[in-house]
Amino acid sequence: MRSHLGTLLLVASFTFTAGQSFVCRAQEIFDHTPKAPPDISRLLERAAAGDPQAQFLAGLAYDTGTGVERNYQEAALWYQKSADHGNAGAQNNLGGLYSRGLGVPLSDTEAVRWYARAAADGHPAAQNNLGYMYAEGRGIAKSDETAVSWYRKAAEKGYAGAQSNLGFMYSVGRGVPLDVKQALKWYHKAAKSGFPTAEFDLGQLYWDGHGVPQNFAEAVGWYRKAAEHGDAAAESQLGYAYSHGQGVPQDMAEAEHWYRVAAADGSPTGQHNLAVLLSRRASSGAAVAQTPPVNPPPPAAGISLVDDEIPTARFSLFGRKR
């Protein structure tokens, strides 16, 4: 039976806000969403017989819990066997496990080693991940210029995550001269693939008027696209736009809806703004919108409830909770 597992790409990501450092979180992205569990017994037989692709797929099954119980140690074992045979996908995913310390000891040095092997074979996700490691200085000397070089290699192959990352580097002048036209070019390429972080950051450019005429309506259009693709930061920012009537008519019910969605998706900004909105409404005695009741999580550390609602931080790269 042929496996329907797609190739898993473990994609590094980071966040940027003024005066703050980058924060990494790994994200799992599939080339093709698994449609059905593989025939695990037959797959493991092939893997045990030394088939590198079967070994990779066995690792992928254990990594994602598809057809078997998730087990990162088993995933690492099969990725390692496949990676030793030169399978670039396994090398990339093994690097992802090392970068997060899942099933193997946490080791940025090992992550870089495996990302570099896959990147040298032209694997776009590994090229993007290696670029991230250079940008962050994790496991290797920090170099924005080298990061940009790797992002560009993957971006030119059409890899949306790297296109978004390259757009970010141009938008803030890291490793390249600040060039908003180039940022827009790469963000739009990623957005054509429905990549939500690029859609969100395009919205931020228009919201702030960063190198483009400020246009709240255009910004909201991009936030909506990103929110519909599940981006928590965009969900929160869409709520903010409705709450303040910027780019859309003011609509507190819509604001609450999007804050609730963002909060449920783990956005600290969405959680904070939902708590502020509900607290303000309770103190004024206004009726609560007819939405399913929730207990909003406590605000993120360092955010005071006496503050007003806050817009989402301006720039970020994919995968983070904002």
Q: Is the domain of 78 the same as that of 198?
A: no
Q: Within a domain: residue 171?
A: no
Q: Within a domain: residue 188?
A: no
Band of pLDDT at residue 284, cut at 50, 70 and 90: confident
Q: Is the domain of 113 the same as that of 234?
A: no
Domain total of the chain: 2
**Of 144, 139, 165, 168, residue with least CA distance to 154:** 165
Domain boundary among 142, 177, 203: 142
Question: What are the CA-CA distances from residue 52 to residues 60, 68, 119, 251 (Å)?
Answer: 12, 19, 18, 55
Q: Which residues pair with 27 in a beta bridge?
A: 11
Is the per-residue pLDDT at 305 higher than 50?
Answer: no
Please tell me the predicted confidence (pLDDT) of residue 283: 86
Q: Is the domain of 17 the same as that of 120?
A: yes
Please tell me the predicted confidence (pLDDT) of residue 69: 95
**Of 46, 282, 321, 7, residue with least CA distance to 159:** 7
Is the per-residue pLDDT at 15 higher than 70?
Answer: no
Question: What are the CA-CA distances from residue 81 to residues 10, 91, 116 (Å)?
Answer: 18, 10, 17
CATH number for the domain including 69?
A: 1.25.40.10
Q: Is the domain of 85 the same as that of 219?
A: no
Q: Is the domain of 113 the same as that of 208?
A: no
Q: Within a domain: residue 155?
A: no
Q: Which residues pair with 9 in a beta bridge?
A: 29
Mean pLDDT of the chain: 83
Is the per-residue pLDDT at 207 higher than 60?
Answer: yes
Domain boundary among 125, 142, 159: 142
Q: Which residues have CB under 8 Å from 239's CB, separation 6+?
A: 254, 255, 256, 257, 258, 259, 261, 262, 270, 273, 274
Q: Within a domain: residue 151?
A: no
Band of pLDDT at residue 49, cut at 50, 70 and 90: very high
Please tell me the predicted confidence (pLDDT) of residue 287: 53
Percent of the chain with pLDDT over 90: 74
180 near 145, Cβ under 8 Å? no
State which residues form the domain around 285. 194-322
- pTM of full prediction above 0.85: no
Please tell me the predicted confidence (pLDDT) of residue 130: 97
Q: Within a domain: residue 253?
A: yes
Is the per-residue pLDDT at 81 higher than 90?
Answer: yes
Q: Within a domain: residue 214?
A: yes
Least confident of 22-26, 40-44, 46-50, 98-102: 22-26
> How many angstroms separate the CA atoms of 179 and 176, rounded?
8
Band of pLDDT at residue 39, cut at 50, 70 and 90: confident
Please tell me the predicted confidence (pLDDT) of residue 304: 31
Q: Is the domain of 136 the same as that of 213?
A: no
Is the per-residue pLDDT at 286 higher than 90?
Answer: no
Q: Within a domain: residue 316?
A: yes
**Of 228, 214, 157, 211, residue with least CA distance to 189:** 157
Q: What is the pLDDT of residues 252-263, one digit of tens each?
A: 999 999 999 999
Q: Within a domain: residue 57?
A: yes
Is the per-residue pLDDT at 23 higher than 70?
Answer: no
21 or 128: whose pLDDT is higher?
Answer: 128
Q: Is the domain of 125 the same as that of 218?
A: no
